[in-house]
Structure 1
Amino acid sequence: MEGIDNEIPPIKQNFKHNFQSLRVADKLETRCTDYLGINLTFATREGILKHTKVKNEDGYYQYLDLDLTDMHLELPFSITLEGQVVAIADEIAQCTHDLEDGVRSGVINFKALRDQSLVSRCMEAYQIRVDKGTIAPAYETRSLIIKNLVGYLIYDVCKQSEKNISQYLKERDMQNEMVFEEQCVFFSDSIEQLVKQLKKWMDDRIIYSEEVSISDSKAQYLIKQLFKAFYVHPKQLPDYMLEKYFKLKGRSFNRAEMNDEELKKDAMFIRMVADHIGGMTDQFASRTYKKLYFPDYI
């Protein structure tokens, strides 16, 4: 994040939801007083991290206090089959949910959707019929197409991955450790190309649409203002977040003894502000913004 305004210097930290999810599991979510986090296995932690990309255009995302030992960040896939399944499942869910949301909101024309190669191939495979004159199909019809598209993609992944895994096991001795040094769970070549085409088509019509661009801009503004409020005036943070911060620092929490200027210089505190905002729902973030910036009598 770069500096939000003159009150906040440039902050050389990133935010990425897979890294943040691992941080929640390791540092923020607690079940006992003996240790921070929920003590997950390495395979589970690695699967959480690797379910999506770990690099941006500048290199790896920066999360200074995360334990990434043996995570093999140089590999763009999980080293367990379970982790690879999670990643492809996330891709299928995101793709099909975006489609359904796009049609439901009217951003995507249903006829144009049916003309997409992957969708038309799926409809043909499952013999899905829609009245040619239908412009705005019933919810049941739309859901039937999306549901079967999910199944169609899952079937392709299973069929292709079974071949990949069999070949991988033939070439290696996997008696001792089930660590996969190659990606084995993915679409067949033909479906992979159709998925890429569909994603590009959706990006043009949804991700870069006027409606989504306006929403993105509002969200960026709101998040920056929340961050600014908590960074400039740390005592506006709730007790439960400040208690987590001081516990991570190995210190007792006392509001009266807090040194705001000292906190602003601490990378761990800056990350804790991001933790608080990152855990907000849309509605809670909106209410918090109003609480921080609007007078009570409005």
Structure 2
Amino acid sequence: MQFSGLAPYACDPAHSRGRRHRELPAPTRTEYQRDRDRIVHSSAFRRLVYKTQVFLNHEGDLFRTRLTHSLEVAQLGRSIARSLCINEDLVEAISLAHDLGHTPFGHAGQDALNACMRAHGGFEHNLQSLRVVDRLEERYPDYDGINLTFETREGVLKHCSLANAQRLEAIEPGGVGGRFLRKEQPSLEAQLCNLADEIAYNAHDIDDGVRSGLITLVQLADVALFDKYRRVAQAEHPHLTDATMGRRLLYETIRRMLSAQVYDVIDATRAMLADVAPRSVADVRMAGPMVTFGASMRDMSSELKRFLFKNLYRHPQVVETTGRAQRVVTDLFAAYEADPREMKARFAQQAMVGDASARARAVADFIAGMTDRFAAREHERLTGLRVLG
């Protein structure tokens, strides 16, 4: 299927580097559309609805989850991709898949699982997302995984340690690990997903933080990016200064922030593209990062991230919950490692046929695939303790 309207430096599905297992093309969809559809229909994607973003799944019905976050990243990414004439379908596929390997309980679960796996190569959620789409999904009769294209898999693996990149290259020469060894850039579509991810979580963490009561509009007045668009919103809509309009003021400020960041990325990236003048995807890979904020927006975004880290992610209430979530993951790992038969049969079988590292990796795969509530229930079943609500 041919695809038109793309810039010469965009990823064209007609010239994809292909899939690990050869397949005939679809008659009505491009290769990246097929990737997106496979991701949406995967078990791992459905589980994201019950996985923590910042607030644990049981703490409220309206807080973001990994699923809603992924949808917001995809929406922002497609909007920017269209203006840059790069591939929207590829951006959407990467956006929807980028968190498939995240553990229950967000970064708390990831940190705990990484500590448990320290003697066995550690745990990286980006690498786990690749592992999910390459190995852990079981949907096809002849191979493991969902057989995504190289370009989508490359975007999913947005970070990778040198040691893991070397392991990937040994298994798949010339594959998705190679760019980390060669110090090349990924496609513009992958670069865009990285930045759309940052824009999305900064905005929705403000919303969730205020909704939770852990941060306030008064505190946010000290954050230049937020305060700038709050002032604009109130100037255009004076009734938003009323104390009863706090929720509407918050939404309008965040909406304007998001729009400003999207336009800034489009303008700054267009300037970079004009300066570098890439003529192909290969030129993109050999250049420096090109999907970017302008200098002023980058500074304001960095300030916002520091504010959220200090006032939300390190808020005593969040830290206390984080500690309990890490205990759940640590206890589960110890219990399954001691007796793999407590896991589902597929993972138990894998754990009992290899060495200590193979056993630990099977345990990590099982835990990483859990939702928050399943992990909490399993912990209670195995320990008799209710650590989380």
1:274 Cα deviation (Å)? 0.6
Other-structure match for 1:185: 291
Distance 1:109 1:217 in 2: 24
1:81 Cα deviation (Å)? 0.7
1:249-260 equivalent positions in 2, closer than 5 A: none
Match status 1:92 vs 2:199? yes
Q: Are the counterparts in 2 of residues 14 and 63 from structure 1 also a CA contact under 8 Å?
A: no
Other-structure match for 2:319: 213
1:32-181 equivalent positions in 2, closer than 5 A: 32-50=140-158, 53-55=159-161, 67=172, 69-73=176-180, 78-124=185-231, 127=236, 129=238, 131-132=240-241, 134=243, 137-169=245-277, 172-174=278-280, 179=285, 181=287
Correspondence for 1:27 among 131, 135, 143: 135
TM-score (norm. length: structure 1): 0.78
Q: Are the counterparts in 1 of residues 313 and 319 from structure 2 also a CA contact under 8 Å?
A: yes
Q: Are the counterparts in 2 of residues 123 and 129 from structure 1 also a CA contact under 8 Å?
A: no
TM-score (norm. length: structure 2): 0.61
1:84 Cα deviation (Å)? 0.7
1:7-22 equivalent positions in 2, closer than 5 A: 11-22=119-130
Paired AA for residue 105 in structure 1? S
Distance 1:118 1:79 in 2: 29
Alignment deviations for residues 193-240 of structure 1 (CA, whole Å, 9 cap, x no partner): 111111111111112110111111111111000001110001111123
| Uncovered stretches (5+) of structure 1, i.e. residues with no partner | 247-259
Q: Are the counterparts in 2 of residues 13 and 63 from structure 1 also a CA contact under 8 Å?
A: no
Other-structure match for 2:81: none
Paired AA for residue 321 in structure 2? S
Q: Are the counterparts in 1 of residues 130 and 157 from structure 2 also a CA contact under 8 Å?
A: yes
Paired AA for residue 377 in structure 2? R
Paired AA for residue 37 in structure 1? G
| Uncovered stretches (5+) of structure 2, i.e. residues with no partner | 1-112
Alignment deviations for residues 213-270 of structure 1 (CA, whole Å, 9 cap, x no partner): 1111111111000001110001111123345x38xxxxxxxxxxxxx5x65x332231
Distance 2:118 2:139 in 1: 35
Distance 2:218 2:114 in 1: 43
Count of residues in Structure 1 that have an aligned counterpart in Structure 2? 267
Distance 2:290 2:118 in 1: 41
Other-structure match for 2:17: none
Other-structure match for 1:257: none
Distance 2:317 2:141 in 1: 46
Other-structure match for 1:292: 382
Aligned-residue RMSD, C-alpha: 3.0
Paired AA for residue 24 in structure 1? V
Distance 1:108 1:3 in 2: 30
Q: Are the counterparts in 2 of residues 14 and 61 from structure 1 also a CA contact under 8 Å?
A: no
Q: Are the counterparts in 1 of residues 186 and 285 from structure 2 also a CA contact under 8 Å?
A: yes
Q: Are the counterparts in 1 of residues 126 and 156 from structure 2 also a CA contact under 8 Å?
A: yes
Identity %: 28
For residues 218 and 94 of structure 1, do their structure 2 counterparts lie closer, same or farther at Cα, with a shift above 3 Å needed?
A: same
Correspondence for 2:336 among 227, 230, 243: 230
- The structure carrying a bigger helix percent of its residues is 2
Other-structure match for 1:266: 356
Distance 1:17 1:3 in 2: 13
Q: Are the counterparts in 2 of residues 46 and 78 from structure 1 also a CA contact under 8 Å?
A: no
For residues 236 and 101 of structure 1, do their structure 2 counterparts lie closer, same or farther at Cα, with a shift above 3 Å needed?
A: same
Other-structure match for 2:373: 283
**Higher Rg:** 1
Distance 1:228 1:179 in 2: 42
Other-structure match for 1:250: none
SS at structure 1 position matched to 2:199? helix
Alignment deviations for residues 125-179 of structure 1 (CA, whole Å, 9 cap, x no partner): 5546565463x7443332222222222211111111111112222xx54387764
- Higher relative CO (Cα under 8 Å, sequence separation at least 6) belongs to 2
Distance 1:10 1:269 in 2: 14
Distance 1:62 1:227 in 2: 25
